[in-house]
C-alpha cells in the first residue's frame, strides 16, 4: 500500500492546480503526416516537429495522459502507390512503415524537450521500437510517458484515422483529438470554398450522412460505438491543444 502510494506520487508529473484545469484524463491525438511537413512538399520539417512536440508537452504538463497516432501521408500512401503500379497491399505496408518513420521523428522531438516517449508498433520491429501490447501501452501512460502508436492498425486497407479510433477505444481514452489545418469541421474545405460553414457541434451520424470529410467512415463508426467524442481543432493555433483540453479555444465536437 505504502509502495503504491509512493509510486502514484512519483507518477503524477504535474502540480494539482494545473491538473484540475483539464477536462480529460487520457486522450489520443491524431496527427496526419502532412501536419509535420510545415511548408515542405514532402517529408518532415524539424521546426514543425518541435512545435507540435511543445504542444504535446504542454498538455502532459496539465496531468493529461497523452497517446498519439501519426499518419504517413507526408511520405507514402498506399493509394498513390497503387496508382503508380505497386499493388495495394504492398503500398499500404509501405505507408505503415512511413508512419514508423514519423513516430520515431516525433519521439526524438519530444525527448529533446524532456518528454519521455515510447513508440509501439503494430508491426513488430524489435530493433527499432516496442511491439504494440495494449496493457504495456496503458502502463506507459500511467507512468506519464507519451505513447506513439506506429504502423497504423498493422493491416492494409485501413487508414491511420481508423487506427486512431481503434487505439482510443482500446486505451479507454476520454476523447480523440483530430488535429487539422483548420479550426473545426466545415461543410466544405474552407481553404477552397469561401461559402463553407463551420460547425460547433455535430453528431457522428451528421458526419456520416452529410459525408463531411473529417475522418474516414470506419473511424467515425468506431468512435460512435465506443462513445468517444472527437474534438477537431487546428494544430496551427499556438497553444491550441492545451486550450481544447480545457474546453477553450475553437474546435468542433462530434458526439451523441
Ligand atoms: N495504412 C494501412 N493500414 C493502417 C494505417 C495506414 O495500410 O492501419 C497505410 C495506408 O496506405 C495509408 C498510409 O499507411 O495511406 C499512411 O496513412 P494515412 O494515409 O492514414 O496517413 P495520413 O493521411 O494521416 O498522413
Of the CA atoms within 13 Å of residue 210, those in its CB half-sphere come to 16
Could you tell me which of 58, 62, 52 has the C-alpha nearest to residue 23? 62
Structure confidence by residue, pLDDT tens digits, 24-57: 999 999 999 999 999 999 999 999 999 999 999 9
pLDDT at 84: 87
pLDDT for 16: 45
Q: Report the chain's mean pLDDT, rounded to a whole number.
A: 92
Residue 21: predicted pLDDT:
83
pLDDT at 86 over 90: yes
Between 115 and 5, the higher pLDDT residue: 115
Would the CB of 160 count as within 6 Å of ligand 1?
A: yes
- The three cell numbers of residue 55 are 504542444
The preferred substitution site among 52, 74, 96, 159 for testing ligand 1, maximizing ligand atoms within 8 Å of CB, is: 159
Task: Output Rg (C-alpha) for the chain, integer angstroms.
Answer: 18
Q: Which residue, among 116, 240, 223, has the nearest Cα to 176 in the 3D structure?
A: 223
How far is residue 192's CA from residue 138's CA, in Å, rounded to a whole number? Answer: 40
Count Cα neighbours of 108 within 13 Å in the Cβ-side half-sphere: 12
pLDDT-based confidence at 18, cuts 50/70/90?
A: low
Q: Determine the distance separating the centroid of ligand 1 and the alpha carbon of 14, expressed in angstroms.
A: 34
Q: pTM of the full predicted structure?
A: 0.92
Answer yes or no: is pLDDT of 127 > 80.
Answer: yes
**How far is the CA of 225 from the CAs of 185, 228, 229, 232, in angstroms?**
21, 8, 11, 18
pLDDT of res. 6 = 42
pLDDT of residue 2: 42
Q: Is the pLDDT of residue 203 over 80?
A: yes
Residue with CA at minimum distance from ligand 1 atom 23? 73
Q: pLDDT, tens digit, for every residue of 128-154?
A: 999 999 999 999 999 999 999 999 999
pLDDT number for residue 255: 97
Looking at the CA of residue 92, tell me the nearest atom of ligand 1. Answer: 11
167 CA distance to ligand 1 centroid (A)?
14
Instruction: Read off the pLDDT of residues 56-79 as tens digits, 9 standing for 90 and up.
Output: 999 999 999 999 999 999 999 988
Query: Which numbered atom of ligand 1 lies nearest the CA of 30?
Result: 24
CA 130 to the chain's CA centroid: 18
Q: Averaged over 242-253, what is the pLDDT?
A: 96
Nearest to 214 by CA among 194, 195, 234: 234
**Cα atoms found within 13 Å of the Cα of residue 18, Cβ hemisphere only:** 13
Query: Quick check: 206 pLDDT over 60?
Result: yes
CB-ligand 1 contact for 34 (6 Å cutoff): yes
Whether residue 81 has its Cβ less than 6 Å from ligand 1: no
* Closest of 252, 239, 222 to residue 51, by C-alpha: 239
| Mean pLDDT value of segment 91-120 | 98
Work out which ligand 1 atom sits closest to the CA atom of 80: 15
Give the pairing of strands 175-180 and 230-234. Answer: parallel
DSSP 8-class letter at 36: G
Amino acid at each position: 500500500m505504502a509502495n503504491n502510494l509512493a509510486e502514484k506520487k512519483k507518477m503524477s508529473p504535474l502540480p494539482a492546480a494545473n491538473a484540475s484545469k483539464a477536462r480529460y484524463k487520457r486522450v489520443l491525438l491524431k496527427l496526419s503526416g502532412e501536419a509535420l511537413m510545415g511548408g515542405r512538399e514532402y517529408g518532415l520539417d524539424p521546426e514543425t516537429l518541435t512545435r507540435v512536440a511543445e504542444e504535446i508537452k504542454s498538455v502532459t504538463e496539465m496531468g493529461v495522459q497523452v497517446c498519439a497516432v501519426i499518419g504517413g501521408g507526408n511520405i507514402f500512401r498506399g493509394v498513390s502507390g497503387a496508382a503508380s503500379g505497386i499493388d495495394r497491399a504492398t503500398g499500404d505496408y509501405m505507408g505503415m512503415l512511413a508512419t514508423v518513420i514519423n513516430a520515431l521523428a516525433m519521439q526524438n522531438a519530444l525527448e529533446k524537450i524532456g518528454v519521455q516517449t515510447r513508440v509501439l508498433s503494430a508491426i513488430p520491429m524489435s530493433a527499432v521500437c516496442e511491439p504494440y501490447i495494449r496493457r504495456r501501452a496503458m502502463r506507459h501512460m500511467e507512468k506519464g510517458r507519451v505513447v506513439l502508436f506506429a504502423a497504423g492498425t498493422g493491416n492494409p486497407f485501413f487508414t491511420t484515422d481508423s487506427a486512431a479510433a481503434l487505439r482510443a477505444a482500446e486505451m479507454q481514452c476520454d476523447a480523440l483529438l483530430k488535429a487539422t489545418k483548420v479550426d473545426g469541421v466545415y461543410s466544405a474545405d474552407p481553404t477552397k470554398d469561401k461559402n463553407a460553414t463551420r460547425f460547433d457541434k455535430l453528431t457522428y451520424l451528421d458526419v456520416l450522412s452529410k459525408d463531411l470529410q473529417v475522418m474516414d467512415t470506419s473511424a467515425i463508426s468506431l468512435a460512435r460505438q465506443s462513445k468517444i467524442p472527437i474534438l477537431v481543432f487546428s494544430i496551427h493555433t499556438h497553444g491550441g491543444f492545451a486550450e481544447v483540453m480545457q474546453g477553450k479555444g475553437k474546435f468542433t465536437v462530434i458526439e451523441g
